[in-house]
């Protein structure tokens, strides 16, 4: 079969279908719906960074009475132009640096592939923008820690895009645990959808017109353009399963159950993440996709409490606890019962505990009706968002340390004070990665960049927040 004659048209058609996903009908503004809107001078100027599937959340900004989308950015012309039309003809930009230089932009919504999250976050912090970052956080632990340091240095607010903290039943379930309804917590479980194998590096295709592929790669290594690398969609999208752009679903999906766990940990006085990790798993050796597909990790906190973190296939096969059901979840097992929460539902044992959810006790969590609404309101008020960066760093680090344990088959020991792996220099080197210039962390923000005079929380102003 002559693949070369068929490859280019096929890739082009897929590209156009992929781009057309953004061309949804225009969204009705909040003012038309009777919600009312603040004058433009009092609304936060929002820029959507990347116009793919995850950027569909931009609709929420468009409907909010105190926000307006002023720019959309994507290296693919068809996508950014489609989103511009969708949001009233706002500015359509190819290069994120031009967005960050725009004084109309107060906040950015970073919905890029994972390898771009932290480089953009560093530039955004330096440029004075607050940010909503889709999960997971960093491509490696060093990026994750850099994001925290720079956001703090420049006093920027960050909302992490693991939306479960804005789901009522998740909050109610965790409040039951915090108020002692299952007794002392003695075991923890998290699980998430398994990764994908396969993907073809061939045929190499010509880059479609209007696609700045070099900018799309950004900090990632140069690689030939092919359909499975760039043009997929849904759970088999290549950027989710190629190690140059992510560490796979162990963080890309694992971020959700781990974030629910971290919400509990933050409020249960657990200031440290697990410090010992040991696990097994599988990484494909053939095909384009080369991130962890299956994993089974045991992570141990300083006081001996154990967390078992698995993919859904492994969790269903082994089922170490009857509360493990569905393709993702967070399970708290106590001396007197258990609580399981997920995006879709929640369950308790005994079942009667669910009746206590509306009045669990004195220890309550913040109420949020929507993650983006909470972000906008937090920026306007100068308060920490519900899914703040420091919490995101803790859960993200746990995903990275779990991945390193699986990738190497060696135990990982984390020093929470020095924030590094100890006792194994080879493993410690896996905490960081090199990046293509000019996108390395050192180039984006040199160590001597000024900032120490900025406060951690910004002060609100009439129109928006600096």
Residues 312 and 341 in one domain: yes
pTM for the predicted model, two decimal places: 0.88
Say how far apart CA 18 and CA 8 lie, in whole Å.
15
Q: Domain of 111?
A: 11-165
The overall longest dimension of the chain from CA atoms, in Å, is 69
214 inside domain: no
459 inside domain: no
Say how far apart CA 115 and CA 97 lie, in whole Å.
16
456 inside domain: no
375 inside domain: no
342 inside domain: yes
- Mind giving me the DSSP string for 290-326? -S--EEEEEEE-TTS-EEEEEEHHHHHHH--STT--S
Angle at 191 between CA 367 and CA 182, to 5 degrees: 55
6 inside domain: no
* Residue 192: CATH number of its domain: 3.30.360.10
Q: Number of C-alpha atoms within 13 angstroms, CB side, residue 69?
A: 32
Residues 113 and 181 in one domain: no
* Residue 131: CATH number of its domain: 3.40.50.720
Residues 321 and 404 in one domain: yes
Beta bridge partners, 204, equal 226
186 inside domain: yes
443 inside domain: no
Residues 265 and 398 in one domain: yes
pLDDT tens for the 466 residues of the chain, in order? 333 333 333 344 444 444 444 444 333 344 333 345 677 778 999 999 999 888 888 889 999 999 999 999 999 999 999 999 999 999 999 999 999 999 999 999 999 999 999 999 999 999 999 999 999 999 999 999 999 999 999 999 999 999 999 999 999 999 999 999 999 999 999 999 999 999 999 999 999 999 999 999 999 999 999 999 987 777 788 999 999 999 999 999 999 999 999 999 999 999 899 999 999 999 999 999 999 999 999 999 999 999 999 999 999 999 999 999 999 999 999 999 999 999 999 999 999 999 999 999 999 999 999 999 999 999 999 999 999 999 999 999 999 999 999 999 999 999 999 999 999 999 999 999 999 999 999 999 876 543 333 332 222 222 333 2
Residues 186 and 259 in one domain: yes
Q: Which of 165, 180, 209 is the last residue of a domain?
A: 165
Q: Quote the number of domains for the chain.
A: 2
Sign of torsion, CA 147 151 152 157? negative
Residues 188 and 283 in one domain: yes
Phi, psi of 275 (to 5 degrees): -110, -10
Strand order in the sheet with 44-49: 91-93, 67-73, 44-49, 107-110, 130-134, 158-161
- Taking phi over 0 as left and psi of -120 to 50 as alpha, with beta for the rest, 294 belongs to beta
Residues 172 and 160 in one domain: no
Residues 174 and 185 in one domain: yes
């Amino acid at each position: 079969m002559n693949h070369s004659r068929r490859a280019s048209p096929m890739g082009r058609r897929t590209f156009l279908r992929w781009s057309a996903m953004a061309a949804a009908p225009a969204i009705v503004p909040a003012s038309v719906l009777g919600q009312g809107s603040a004058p433009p001078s009092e609304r936060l100027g929002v820029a959507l960074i990347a116009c793919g599937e995850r950027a569909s959340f931009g609709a929420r900004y468009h409907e909010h009475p105190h926000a307006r989308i002023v720019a959309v950015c994507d290296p693919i012309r068809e996508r950014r132009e489609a989103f511009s039309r969708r949001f009233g003809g706002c500015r359509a930009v190819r290069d994120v640096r031009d967005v960050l230089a725009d004084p109309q932009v107060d906040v950015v919504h970073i919905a890029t592939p994972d390898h771009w999250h932290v480089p953009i976050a560093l530039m955004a912090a330096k440029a004075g923008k607050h940010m909503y970052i889709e999960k997971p956080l960093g491509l490696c632990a060093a990026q994750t820690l850099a994001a925290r340091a720079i956001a703090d240095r420049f006093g920027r607010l960050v909302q992490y895009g693991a939306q479960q903290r804005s789901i009522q039943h998740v909050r109610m379930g965790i409040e039951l645990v915090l108020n002692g309804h299952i007794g002392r917590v003695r075991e923890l479980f998290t699980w998430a959808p398994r990764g994908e194998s396969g993907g073809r590096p061939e045929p190499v295709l010509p880059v479609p017109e209007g696609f700045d592929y070099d900018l799309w790669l950004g900090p990632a290594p140069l690689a030939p353009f092919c359909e499975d690398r760039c043009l997929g969609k849904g759970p088999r999208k290549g950027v989710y399963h190629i190690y140059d752009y992510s560490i796979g679903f162990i963080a890309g999906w694992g971020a959700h159950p781990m974030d629910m766990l971290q919400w509990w940990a933050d409020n249960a006085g657990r200031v440290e993440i697990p410090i010992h990790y040991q696990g097994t798993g599988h990484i494909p050796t053939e095909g384009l996709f080369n991130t962890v597909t299956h994993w089974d990790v045991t992570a141990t906190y300083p006081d001996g409490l154990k967390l078992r973190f698995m993919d859904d296939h492994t969790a269903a096969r082994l089922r170490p606890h009857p509360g493990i059901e569905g393709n993702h979840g967070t399970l708290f097992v106590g001396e007197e019962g258990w609580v399981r929460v997920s995006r879709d539902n929640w369950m308790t044992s005994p079942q009667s505990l669910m009746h206590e959810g509306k009045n669990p006790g004195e220890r309550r969590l913040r109420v949020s009706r929507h993650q983006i609404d909470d972000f906008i309101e937090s920026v306007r008020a100068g308060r920490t968002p519900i899914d703040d960066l420091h919490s995101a760093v803790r859960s993200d680090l746990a995903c990275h340390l779990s991945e390193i344990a699986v990738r190497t088959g060696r135990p990982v020991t984390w020093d929470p004070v020095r924030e590094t792996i100890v006792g194994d220099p080879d493993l410690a080197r896996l905490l960081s990665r090199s990046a293509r210039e000019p996108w390395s962390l050192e180039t984006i923000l040199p160590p001597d960049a000024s900032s120490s005079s900025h406060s951690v929380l910004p002060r609100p102003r009439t129109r928006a927040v600096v």
